[in-house]
Chain A
Amino acid sequence: MMKADETQIVFGTIDDIDGFSVPLIISWEEAVALIEAYDPSNQFSPPAAESREIARVFLDALKKAMEA
């Protein structure tokens, strides 16, 4: 299961970029499954549903941080 470490979201300057740092946590098993299924040379990889799931974890955390 992937989740954002919401207590560790930082707004600041990271390597000269002003913005948010959002740490994500993923289990070993899920990381292995994702990487095994991911083909960087295929423009359709990863599947849209999988991409959306990851993006939503990030965006939900970012939204909460920005609205806090």
Chain B
Amino acid sequence: MPIAKAFDPYTGAANGGTVPSGGSATLYDVPYSDAIDLTDGSWTLVDPNNLIKSITYDPATKFHSVVWNATAGSADLNWSSGTNHTGPRWYQAAEIDGTAMNSDDITNLTFYIHTDNLNRGTFDNAIAWGISVDPTSTDANTIAGCGLYANAVVSNNNTALGVWTVNGSATTGIGGSDRCVTTYQYGGQHAGSGCFTVVDGASGYRIQNGSRNANIAIPGGQNLNWVLGLGTRGNTIAIQQYATSQRFKIHRVAVKYDLGAILT
């Protein structure tokens, strides 16, 4: 006899044994989001120094391609360093089934990236893909961005992949690495911690793994945002006019458990 589902595991709403509304019918093999298209109109670009010349999304391969305007090297373009972040970033309100994610709640976020090692860009570049309190700010702690980090040295043949914590990162690049799953526990008025597994594209097995803690508190009661930031791998990397950065494809999934129900 099949087991009737009493609650939607995503919304908590009673289902009365019917097919759940929204989300997956089970917590096993929970689907990721569809491949994210930063050009679909639902994302807002903040580009303090007007560095993005163009971004295109290939609906067939799901990869983004970015062309840059020229700029001198600056630590502010490095999402893994310093106190100011002026690199271009796209953001979108973070919601689960239409409910805004809030900085008070501990949420579990899983980010996925697939980078294109054959199109690694023309300068040493980096991708920060995560969650943020205020992605419109240029202050690293106000942005409070955390999630997945990817960086590519033009002369290498793999992507270093791992975890992004506000203005730091821990990544590893090995054996043609180009895919990574980073799970980040964020919120409870703190920027939390993340762990990652660099995965083999054929088997899905682990190539490398690691972790990193963030060390800042975040303000309470703030709605959160998804953020995708682009920048340089290093503090002195100049960008030439019409330069390109590494092509990438991204997914995500988020879960908020009902902690309040078990606290007392």
Contacts and interface: CB of A to CB of B under 8 A. Distances in A.
Given A10-B210, A11-B172, A16 B162 contact: no
A14 interface: yes
Interface string A35-60: 00000000000000000000000000
Interface centre among A11, A12, A21 (most CB of B within 10 A): A12
A66 to B, nearest CB: 16
Q: Chain A: interface secondary structure?
A: strand
B168 A13 contact: no
Give the interface size bracket for A toward B.
under 10
A12 B162 contact: yes
Contacts of B208: 12
Contacts, number: 36
Interface residues of B, number: 17
A2 to B, nearest CB: 21
A15 interface: yes
B81 A13 contact: no
B158 to A, nearest CB: 11
B170 A13 contact: yes
B80 A16 contact: yes
Contacts of A15: 80-81, 168-169
Interface string B72-89: 000000101100000000
A13 B204 CA distance: 22
A43 B84 CA distance: 33
B120 to A, nearest CB: 15
Nearest to B170: A14
B170 A21 contact: yes
State the 3 A-B residue pairs at the shortest beta-carbon distance, nearest first.
A12-B172, A13-B171, A13-B160
